[in-house]
C-alpha cells in the first residue's frame, strides 16, 4: 500500500513539474489563440479571433470585406459615408447603406470616448496616429497600427486580418491569386524590348508623386515601366518642374482626380515640352475604390498601367472583364448597380 501511495505521489509531482515547464510553449497549442505583430512592431495577443472591430482606415476596411468578415465591424471611418466609395460599401452592407454604423473617427481624428463606448476588441488606425494610439492603449484597448509603403505590406495586412478574424485560409488564397496574376502579367512584360519611363501624378498637385520604395514604384515596375524618380527613396515627394523636364517621361499616369483630367494637362503650356504630352500618352486611373494601391486592388491598377505602357503586349486585355473578375475574386460577390 505504501509503495502504491509513493508511486502515486511521484506521478503527481512529475505532472506538476511538467505543467510548470509547459507555459513557454503553451501559446502555440492553444486552439483559437491569435498572436500578430502590427506595422509598429507591436505584438498583439488574443485568446480567440476578434468579434468587435472599429476600423478607421477605409483601405483596411476594404480588406475586411474581402475576407467576408464585415459582421465583425462595429465602427468605421467617417469618410466612408462622404466619398465616392460609399456606393460600393452600401451595395455590400445594409448597415452602411442606411448609415447605421457609428463613425468615431477618421484618418486624421479619433473621438476616443466614442470608440470606448463601442467596447471594441480591436481598433485599426494608421500607425502614425500616435496620440490616439496611446490614448486607446492607456485605456486597455488593443490597437493595430497600419503603415503601407510597398506591396508586401498589403500582403501582410490582409494575412494579419485573416488571423485576427479566423479567416486565414481565405486571406492566403487572395494573396496567392494576386501573386499568381503578377507572375502571369510579368511574363508578358518580360518580352518588352524597352521599359518606358513613367511619371506618376497624385491628385494633390501636378508635381506631387511617389518615388522609390513605394507602392507606386511597385505598380510601375510590375507593369513593365520605369519610374522616373525611382532613385529617390521617398514614398511621397514634391518635385520641381526642371527635374520633370529632365526626366522627360514617355508616359504620365494620373491618380483619379475629380477636379482634373488628362485633357487639362494636355492643354497646359507648362507641360508642352514633355514627351508624354507631345505623344498624348497621359492616362488617369478610375475612381479610388477600384484602384486603391493600399489594398489587393493594386493588381487592377497594375493591369491598367501595363496596358498603357505596353499596348503591343497587353492589347487583348479587356479591362471591363478584369474589373468584374476582381470583384468576384476579392469580394466573393458581384456588386449590383455600380
Higher pLDDT, 190 or 158: 158
Which pLDDT belongs to residue 30? Answer: 55
Residue 1, C-beta contacts closer than 8 angstroms, at least 6 positions apart: none
Is there a single domain that holds both residue 110 and residue 234? no
Which pLDDT belongs to residue 250? Answer: 98
Is there a single domain that holds both residue 144 and residue 196? no
End residue of a domain, out of 132, 152, 167: 167
Which pLDDT belongs to residue 108? Answer: 85
pLDDT tens per residue, range 144-172? 999 999 999 999 999 999 999 999 999 99
Retrieve residue 212's grid coordinates.
522609390
Does residue 311 lie within any of the structural domains?
A: yes
Retrieve residue 35's grid coordinates.
498572436
Confidence check: pLDDT of 6 > 80 = no
Mean pLDDT lowest for which of 22-31, 193-202, 296-305?
Answer: 22-31
Which residues does residue 46 pair with via DSSP β-bridges, in sequence order?
A: 34
Residue 72, C-beta contacts closer than 8 angstroms, at least 6 positions apart: 50, 51, 52, 53, 64, 165
Does residue 180 lie within any of the structural domains?
A: no
The answer to whether the CB of 111 falls within 8 A of the CB of 104 is yes
Domain at 273, CATH number:
3.40.50.1980
Is there a single domain that holds both residue 33 and residue 158? yes
pLDDT confidence tier of residue 11, bands split at 50, 70 and 90: very low
User: The whole model's pTM is what?
Assistant: 0.87
Which pLDDT belongs to residue 60? Answer: 97
- State percent of the chain over pLDDT 90: 85
Which pLDDT belongs to residue 91? Answer: 93
Confidence check: pLDDT of 224 > 90 = yes
Does residue 338 lie within any of the structural domains?
A: no
Averaged over 241-270, what is the pLDDT?
Answer: 95
Domain range enclosing 114:
26-167
Which pLDDT belongs to residue 335? Answer: 63
Nearest-angstrom CA–CA distance, 331 and 335: 9
Confidence check: pLDDT of 244 > 60 = yes
Is there a single domain that holds both residue 308 and residue 200? yes
| Secondary structure (3-state) at 310 | coil
Burial of 40 (0-12, 13-18, 19+ CB in 10 A): middle
Does residue 234 lie within any of the structural domains?
A: yes
Residue 193, C-beta contacts closer than 8 angstroms, at least 6 positions apart: none
Mean pLDDT lowest for which of 18-22, 57-61, 266-270?
Answer: 18-22
Averaged over 35-43, what is the pLDDT?
Answer: 97
Confidence check: pLDDT of 21 > 80 = no
Is there a single domain that holds both residue 234 and residue 133? no
Nearest-angstrom CA–CA distance, 298 and 248: 25
CA dihedral 111, 156, 53, 147 (to 10 degrees): 0
Which pLDDT belongs to residue 337? Answer: 52
pLDDT confidence tier of residue 338, bands split at 50, 70 and 90: low
Q: DSSP character for 255?
A: P
Name the average pLDDT for the chain. 90
Nearest-angstrom CA–CA distance, 215 and 236: 10
Which pLDDT belongs to residue 92? Answer: 94
Confidence check: pLDDT of 254 > 70 = yes
Q: Strands across the sheet with 282-284, in order?
A: 226-227, 197-201, 251-254, 282-284
Is there a single domain that holds both residue 143 and residue 238? no
Number of domains comprising the chain: 2
Is there a single domain that holds both residue 32 and residue 154? yes
Amino acid at each position: 500500500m505504501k509503495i502504491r501511495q509513493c508511486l502515486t505521489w511521484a506521478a503527481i509531482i512529475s505532472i506538476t513539474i511538467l505543467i510548470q515547464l509547459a507555459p513557454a510553449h503553451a501559446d502555440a497549442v492553444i486552439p483559437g489563440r491569435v498572436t500578430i505583430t502590427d506595422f509598429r512592431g507591436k505584438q498583439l495577443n488574443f485568446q480567440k479571433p476578434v468579434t468587435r472591430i472599429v476600423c478607421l482606415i477605409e483601405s483596411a476596411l476594404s480588406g475586411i470585406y474581402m475576407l467576408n468578415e464585415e459582421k465583425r465591424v462595429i465602427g468605421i471611418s467617417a469618410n466612408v459615408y462622404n466619398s465616392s466609395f460609399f456606393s460600393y460599401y452600401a451595395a455590400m452592407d445594409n448597415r452602411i447603406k442606411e448609415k447605421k454604423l457609428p463613425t468615431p473617427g477618421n484618418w486624421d481624428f479619433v473621438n476616443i470616448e466614442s470608440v470606448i463606448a463601442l467596447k471594441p476588441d480591436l481598433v485599426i488606425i494608421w500607425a502614425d496616429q500616435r496620440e490616439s494610439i496611446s490614448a486607446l492603449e492607456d485605456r486597455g484597448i488593443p490597437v493595430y497600427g497600419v503603415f503601407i509603403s510597398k506591396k508586401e505590406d498589403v500582403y501582410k495586412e490582409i494575412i494579419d486580418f485573416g488571423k485576427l478574424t479566423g479567416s486565414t485560409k481565405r486571406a492566403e488564397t487572395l494573396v496567392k491569386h494576386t501573386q499568381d496574376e503578377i507572375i502571369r502579367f510579368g511574363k508578358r512584360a518580360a518580352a518588352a524590348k524597352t521599359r518606358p519611363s513613367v511619371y506618376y501624378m497624385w491628385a494633390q498637385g501636378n508635381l506631387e508623386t511617389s518615388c522609390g520604395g513605394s507602392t507606386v514604384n511597385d505598380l510601375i515596375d510590375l507593369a513593365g515601366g520605369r519610374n522616373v524618380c525611382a532613385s529617390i527613396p521617398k514614398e511621397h515627394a514634391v518635385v520641381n518642374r526642371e527635374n520633370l523636364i529632365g526626366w522627360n517621361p514617355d508616359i504620365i499616369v494620373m491618380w483619379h482626380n475629380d477636379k482634373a483630367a488628362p485633357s487639362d494637362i494636355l492643354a497646359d503650356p507648362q507641360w508642352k515640352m514633355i514627351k508624354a504630352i507631345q505623344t498624348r500618352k497621359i492616362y488617369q486611373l478610375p475612381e479610388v475604390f477600384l484602384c486603391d494601391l493600399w489594398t489587393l486592388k493594386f493588381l487592377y491598377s497594375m493591369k491598367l498601367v501595363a496596358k498603357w505602357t505596353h499596348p503591343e503586349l497587353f492589347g487583348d486585355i479587356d479591362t471591363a472583364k478584369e474589373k468584374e473578375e476582381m470583384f468576384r475574386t476579392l469580394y466573393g460577390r458581384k456588386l449590383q448597380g455600380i
